[in-house]
Amino acid sequence: MAEEFVPVQTKVVTKPFLVLAALALTGLGLIAYRYVAGLGAVTNLSDGYPWGIWIAYDVLVGTALGCGGYAMAILVYVFNRWEYHPLVRSAVLTSVLGYTLAAVAIFIDIGRYWNGYKLFLPWQVNLSSVLVEVALCIGAYVVVLWIEFLPTLLEKHREHPKAAVWLRRLNHALPVIAAVGILLPTMHQSSLGTLMVIAGGKLSPLWQTSLLPLFFLLSALAMGFAVTAVESIASSYFFRRPYETPMLANLARVTAGVVAAYLVLRLADLLYRGAPVLSSGWLSAMFFLENLLYMVPLIFLVSPRAARNLRVLFLAGLALLLAGAVYRFNAFLVGFSPGPGWRYFPAMPEIAITLGLVSLELMAYLYFVKRYPVLPAQHG
């Protein structure tokens, strides 16, 4: 049988890799300082804005960017679209890295981390808390993702007899693993939205709605498809490999469907609630930015000619990722106002820690694609 996936045969330690390493080290140093001096010493968080970019970026955007594995699994395993299978592995890799770092970020963010294990004690958790569902599902999904990624690691050592046995066992368990791997993100990506329902009037009516779970789920799916396309195009470009053009064009149509559903529902909900779309000052501006970032790529994605143009696809994908990120920032930070006098903009060390974590993620990505069979084999 021909190899479906192969490692990229280049050096791991390159100049960009060293730059990333420097950023990662800076971040790690600041994280150490946070544990000595408290959260106030490295962040601009306050009693009014208790959640900042670590939650909005590292957790919300980070896990949504990690939805590639989820989105592709739905296409392949649920809709039986095996033509997308070549994209699954790299999508799972981005997912496993994104989610693992989100879990790390949560651990850095919570103030009383030594009590963190209490979240996993069934008699301790509060079942009416949305945060319990989010935390347990993200925790479980990190484990599931590593299991899904395991075959990639094992294949490299397939001569080893133990590895072969485990590969077979994993393949047996695949239906269950894949099903759980689809259920868990459906649950927590929507619950991430539900988190803000309890903020009530502190979140602007442009974002506060009982439909937050549905919007978070749909936008996470859209980001999952977009990130897979962007990653595929970027890795083909940087590693000088052939482009997956027809597959990407089809993917574009699926993505367009999800985005269109999201926009229709979002608009209907705003109209139904009579939200002050035009009269909310700077929040209105952010609202329009967010939705333009959805609408413009949608226009390109539905046109069949444009969808075969890789440059257009790439830019549309980036725009959709940005749209999802802006939506998440709006729903958790920009549209959140605890009352007069409170303000939040991330502190330098706070940003540096996030940058450090992202650098770690990119370093891990580069390492894995160059050492393990992650990217699709070149056909033809």
Partner 1 sequence: MAISRRSFLKLAAGAGLAAGASLAPAPVGARPPVPRLPEAVGILYDATLCIGCKACMSACKEFNGLPPEHTDPRAIWDDPLDLSAKTVNIVKLYTHGSGLAKDREVDGYAYIRRFCMHCVDPACTSACPVGALYKDARTGIVKYNPDVCIGCRYCQIACPYNIPKFQWDSPFPRIVKCQMCDHLQARGSFPACCRFCPTGASLFGEVRELLREARRRLALKEGEPTWFPLRRVDSGSHTYRAAPAYLPYIYGEKDGGGTQVLMLSSVPFAKLGLPALGEDSIASHSETVYHALYKGMLLPYLVLSGLVYLVYRNTTKKDLP
Question: What residues numbered 79-98 form the site for partner 1, per CB under 8 A?
Answer: 79-83
User: Does 189 participate in binding partner 1 (rule CB under 8 A)?
Assistant: no
DSSP state of 61: I
Considering the complex, state which of residue 109 and residue 361 has its C-beta at the smaller distance from partner 1.
109
User: Does 176 participate in binding partner 1 (rule CB under 8 A)?
Assistant: yes
User: Does 124 participate in binding partner 1 (rule CB under 8 A)?
Assistant: yes
Under rule CB under 8 A, how many of the chain's residues touch partner 1? 73
User: Does 195 participate in binding partner 1 (rule CB under 8 A)?
Assistant: yes
3-state SS, residue 203:
strand
User: Does 126 participate in binding partner 1 (rule CB under 8 A)?
Assistant: yes
User: Does 179 participate in binding partner 1 (rule CB under 8 A)?
Assistant: yes
Q: Is 281 left (phi over 0), alpha (psi -120 to 50) or beta?
A: left
Considering the complex, state which of residue 58 and residue 133 has its C-beta at the smaller distance from partner 1.
133
Quickly list H helices, the chain.
Answer: 15-37, 53, 62-65, 68-73, 85-109, 130-156, 161-194, 212-238, 245-273, 282-302, 304-307, 310-329, 348-371
User: Does 45 participate in binding partner 1 (rule CB under 8 A)?
Assistant: yes
Considering the complex, state which of residue 10 and residue 210 has its C-beta at the smaller distance from partner 1.
210
Q: Which of residues 304-323 bind partner 1 (CB under 8 A)?
A: none
Residue 233 and residue 314: Cα distance in Å, rounded?
7
**Which among 56-64, 124-132, 222-230, 235-243 is the span making contact with partner 1, rule CB under 8 A?**
124-132
User: Does 352 participate in binding partner 1 (rule CB under 8 A)?
Assistant: no
User: Does 14 participate in binding partner 1 (rule CB under 8 A)?
Assistant: no
DSSP state of 135: H
User: Does 187 participate in binding partner 1 (rule CB under 8 A)?
Assistant: yes
Q: What is the DSSP string of 296-357?
A: HHHHHHHSHHHHT-HHHHHHHHHHHHHHHHHHHHIIIIITB--STT------HHHHHHHHHH
